[in-house]
């Protein structure tokens, strides 16, 4: 089957995720800048999550550039990724509303870890379907960025109970690693 419906559905779900996140930021009842102060943690968590969702959307787009067609396994692997991404608004809100307390920060990291695992599964499912000699397989290679991300998430989750700000710093570091889109696929397709 063609990949267009998978792309369109994924784009729609990601747009809804971003919309839900912004709607979770409640308008303050005050009329001065001091009324915004309690929203600072909520806004910071929103910015981090918006960047993460943007990174997933961007890399998902690049990933599907190298794909010719999809099958049922790929559709389920994609839904698996979208499931974990759909939980980002919840953990974002919980983390922000609770001033980056240990448990919400750890759960945020757990969702990020599971989304990263789901993305890895989607990538491997696509490679399995298109072959180990496909442009996608060549472009992804050993996927060192993906593996480093998994390690950082796994470290950050227990670290949240020691120092939630250090855990958040690891989440931000992973976002920085992925902020520039993965150009391996574009380079492979152009070659």
The angle, 0 to 180 degrees and rounded to 10, between the axes of the packed helices 164-179 and 102-130 is 30
The model's pTM:
0.92
pLDDT for the residue numbered 43: 96
Q: Which of 103, 90, 106, 101 is nearest to 49 (CA)?
A: 90
Q: Residue 26 has what DSSP assignment?
A: P
Mean pLDDT of the chain: 92
The sign of the dihedral angle between the CA atoms of 47, 17, 181, 166 is positive
Q: Which of 112, 11, 97, 123 is nearest to 52 (CA)?
A: 112
Chain segment 144-158, per-residue pLDDT in tens: 889 999 999 999 999
Q: Show the domain range for 151.
A: 4-190
Number of domains in the chain: 1
Q: Would you say 108 and 39 are in contact if contact means Cβ atoms under 8 Å apart?
A: no
Chain segment 86-98, per-residue pLDDT in tens: 999 999 999 999 9
């Amino acid at each position: 089957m063609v990949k267009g419906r998978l792309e369109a559905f994924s784009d729609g779900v990601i747009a809804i995720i971003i919309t839900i996140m912004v709607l979770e930021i409640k308008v303050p009842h005050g009329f001065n800048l001091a009324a915004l102060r309690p929203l600072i943690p909520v806004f910071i968590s929103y910015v981090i999550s918006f960047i993460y969702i943007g990174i997933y959307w961007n890399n998902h787009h690049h990933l599907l550039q190298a794909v010719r067609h999809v099958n049922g396994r790929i559709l389920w692997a994609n839904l698996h990724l979208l499931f974990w991404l759909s939980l980002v608004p919840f953990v974002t809100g919980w983390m922000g509303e609770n001033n980056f307390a240990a448990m919400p920060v750890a759960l945020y990291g757990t969702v990020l870890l599971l989304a990263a695992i789901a993305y890895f599964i989607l990538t491997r499912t696509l490679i399995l379907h298109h072959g180990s000699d496909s442009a996608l397989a060549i472009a992804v290679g050993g996927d060192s960025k993906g593996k480093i991300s998994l390690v950082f998430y796994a470290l950050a989750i227990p670290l949240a109970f020691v120092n939630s700000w250090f855990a958040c710093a690891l989440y931000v570091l992973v976002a920085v690693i992925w902020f520039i889109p993965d150009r391996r696929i574009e380079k492979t397709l152009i070659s």
